[in-house]
Structure 1
Amino acid sequence: MSDLIFKQFETTRGNFLKNVEAISKETANVQPEGFNNTIHWHIGHVLTVTEQFMFGFPKKSAHLPEKYIEQFGNGTKPADWKDDVPQVSELISQLKEQLERIKQIPAERFNEKLEKPFLGQETFGELAGFSLMHEAMHLGQIQAMKRIIEQAGIKS
């Protein structure tokens, strides 16, 4: 099972990175009408939530700054950002590093039962699959936002 999960992380994260690396800084920071967030936020959100699901951030993982919860966690938005928000390039580097850490998770870990079910997931492997679905969903949002921004010629 772990080989399949690792392959899916490589594929999903690879597609995510390919898409976000092709987006300009200006485009990444536009919030089109009808959307709650920016592409920049989506990139940080995927990084932060994956860290929560896969590594227990912020209590069990110190690989990301704790402030990411306030900047990119569920229910957050760029309108509430204070100073010191990481650049997209930094988030992309952290996404790459995170993928390498994910690939180091021992195979037997994916069969472990969670202390209590989370979002309907009962094992760590199921939670990993949910994390992949979450990332793919946000990639779809990023692609839609990019298309809208570019077609409308919106500037930040």
Structure 2
Amino acid sequence: MNHLTFKQFELTRSWFIESAESVPRGIASVQPEGFSNTIHWHIGHVLTASEQLMFGFHHKKFHLPAVYTKLFERGTSPADWGGDVPPVDELITQLKDQWDRIQQIPAKQLNENLEEPFIGLETFGELAGFAIVHEAIHMGKIEEMKRVIELGGARN
């Protein structure tokens, strides 16, 4: 990746991981009043969405278990989870592993056009920029939810 995109992704991912690691495991699966998901879901969602954006659309590869899309895709909810759901610590490890794979993407690829535009984005670099913004948005949600839970505005 080019230096600017690489640096932005590196900062955002390191902050996201730091935020996720700071969440007490006892509150990760608590759904605060007024929120439609849990911190656990947001962590899995960022992992899954980044995998789709950085490897699925352009490379046609998905390095995560297929069940992750059923658990963490947009519109899913922990209320619908059944069976084996990966624990938060496993998701954090996978975020770190994913970051290692993202760093291997050649800079020249950022200029390549997507087969078809995605939400108005036409190049792989634009898609990478969207992944960065998406991750930052969900990091903010995690921080909000953590404060609300810690202040007592939660439900199980």
TM-score, with normalisation over the residues of structure 1?
A: 0.94
How far does residue 63 in structure 1 lie from its aligned partner after superposition?
A: 1.6
Q: State the superposition RMSD in angstroms.
A: 1.5
Structure 1 residue 60 displacement after superposition: 2.7
Displacement of 1:74 after TM fit? 1.0
1:62-101 to structure 2, matched below 5 A, reads 62-101=62-101
Structure 1's unaligned 5+ residue stretches are none
CA distance in 1, matches of 2:60, 2:130: 19
Q: Mean Cα displacement is larger for which, 140-149 or 114-123?
A: 114-123
Question: How much does 1:155 deviate?
Answer: 6.9
The structure 1 segments of at least 4 consecutive aligned residues displaced by more than 6 Å after TM superposition are none
Alignment of 1:7-156 (within 5 A): 7-56=7-56, 60-152=60-152, 154=154, 156=156
Paired residues in the alignment total: 155
Alpha-carbon distance in 1 for matches of 2:153, 2:119: 38
Unmatched 5+ stretches in structure 2: none
Deviation at 1:62, TM superposition (A): 4.0
Match of 1:44, SS?
helix
Question: Separation in 2 of the partners of 1:122 and 1:153?
Answer: 41
- 8 Å CA contact retained: 2:17, 2:92: yes
State how far apart, in whole Å, the 1-side matches of 2:74 and 2:60 are. Answer: 19
Q: Which amino acid aligns with 1:81?
A: W
Q: Residues 55-74 of structure 1, C-alpha deviation per residue, up to 9 Å, x if partnerless?
A: 007x9324200000000011
1:51-99 deviation line (CA, Å, top 9, x unaligned): 0000007x93242000000000111000000110000000000000001
